[in-house]
Structure 1
Amino acid sequence: MPDRPSSFVSDSARDKYYATYDRLLRELWPVPVDAVDVETRAGSVRIHRAGPTTGDPVVLLAGAGGNALAWYRYMEPLARRRPVLAVDPLGEPGRSVQTRPLATGAEVGGWLTDMLDAVGAERAHVVGSSYGGWTAVEQQRGGGGRVAALTLVDPGGFAPLTGRFYRWALAGAIASMLPRTLRHRMAGVAGNGTLREDALMELMLAGRSFRRRLPMPPIYADEQVRELSVPVQVLLGERSALLDAEAVAARLAGIAPSWRVEIVPGTGHALPVEAPDLVVERILTFPGQAWPGIAPPNHSATHR
């Protein structure tokens, strides 16, 4: 279990990362945002707010190694209809500052509860990708409240990590250092659309000086899945390296039949960057109340 907070290896490494982060934020962000820092039990959390000032917010949690900038394609379409809070998760490279170790799922979910409390969220729609999906589930399992719905995008905690995932991650790390043309070409070979995201790749390389110390998600038992009382939708990459999408969909159909589970064709674990329009539509039409100008989702690929 982690016994120290995640951190940069030095102050100079942190300052270099922040310079890259701030520049890319200016270049990528398509709508005006307000940066807010809120205090939690484990450190200060940076949030980028956009959209209306009132209403139930959409809260965006990136996966391991990611932060709010991973959601740059989502801000404008979501902010047209909902308040949006894009978060730099504690323990990941970004402008949040972890001050206490996070050794358990309860502690990871706890900082999210504190953050939702600090911003006054009462019925948030929390969207979590990969590790961010596990964080969102842990927040609910901890009785945190303040959440009206969960969208889990190829989430952790629903299948054991295998050699396939580690090979996928290693291939992505190696390919990230290639020249742009070769890196883009490798995106298809490695099954990782993030390799085509030049700005996110630059940010990831700048974050090599960050030491991530967070717990590994264990696999949820059936009864733990059934504990969740809020509406949940799960979007799975058809070719995900993290999990067997068909097996996870079949399992959830048996133990959580009220959940909406969809396998997205042609996508992998990098589903949020490979199908952003689809994910935005699913967020805005779940759990059933469509917002103006948004068509109902096509359920043809849905497993119930």
Structure 2
Amino acid sequence: METNTKQFWYGVLIGVLGVVLFSSKAVMVKLAYNYNVDPISILLLRMLFAFPVYVVIAFIYSKKKTAIPIKKTDYVWLVFFGLVGYYLASYFDFVGLKYIKASLERIILFLYPTMVLVLNRVFLKRPITKIQSLAIALTYMGVVIAFWDEVALSGRDSFLGGAFILLSAITYATYLVGTGWLIPKFGVVKFTAYAMIVSCVSVFIHFSIVSDVDLFSFSWQVYALGFIIALFATVIPSFLVSTSIKMISSSNFAIVAGVGPISTIILASIFLNEVLTGLQFFGALVVILGILMVSLKKEKQA
């Protein structure tokens, strides 16, 4: 029993670390924007540094057989969801961060579990319970509270930034809904590595087509931040979160994930001097409460 308790708390600590590292991404992207870099360039640097890691992981796991046979069409779907879930979601997120606070970005992105419920209802005809409906209403009310106050403070550019972040949350939710049947075939690690490789290549192509920026013209701070985002806000937390879920279950991790918006708010206040108003902080707490209701209810049903 004592061993299980220790394992549980180790899992909680690993989960908290993973969530905080993931949440730091927005803060580091905002820091990079201080050095005259555009969204696609910093996204490219992130993918360039992360790419070799995922290639190595994909090679290691490529020879491991899975219990469920993989069809050729499964690879087509993997490419599609790699484009949607990691390329488009990341691009929309990085563009949105040009216009809004890092802390507000995390609050809006935290809506994705409610979007998963809605997409499941629309496309897979899965029912939404009364508790889940209440939770969805709470989360969107919280975002409106936090966001509307930001518009009053920062102007209409907040609408543009919020729209891009919302698109990021929608595309990521689409990825989660669509890949539920693919991940068991490939395995979590192999699927993530393959999907990230697709995303990296997509960003490389995007940059080569639309950008005329000299990749070697940035200050050393931009390259350093690109490396840190790739390693400490992408690769490492992706495995920490997977490990935590295995150790403490997804329902317990849902509670741990509530640390995300709060940690972003704290990090943004330290490194970016961002300050949330009392109304915005209240909105963030309402969003967190709603997401916890959704996640815990879904786990109980499972």
By percentage of residues, which structure has more helix? 2
Answer 1 or 2: higher relative contact order, Cα 8 Å, separation at least 6.
2
What is the TM-score normalised by the length of structure 1? 0.29
TM-score for both structures, normalised by structure 2: 0.29
Structure whose CA Rg is larger: 2
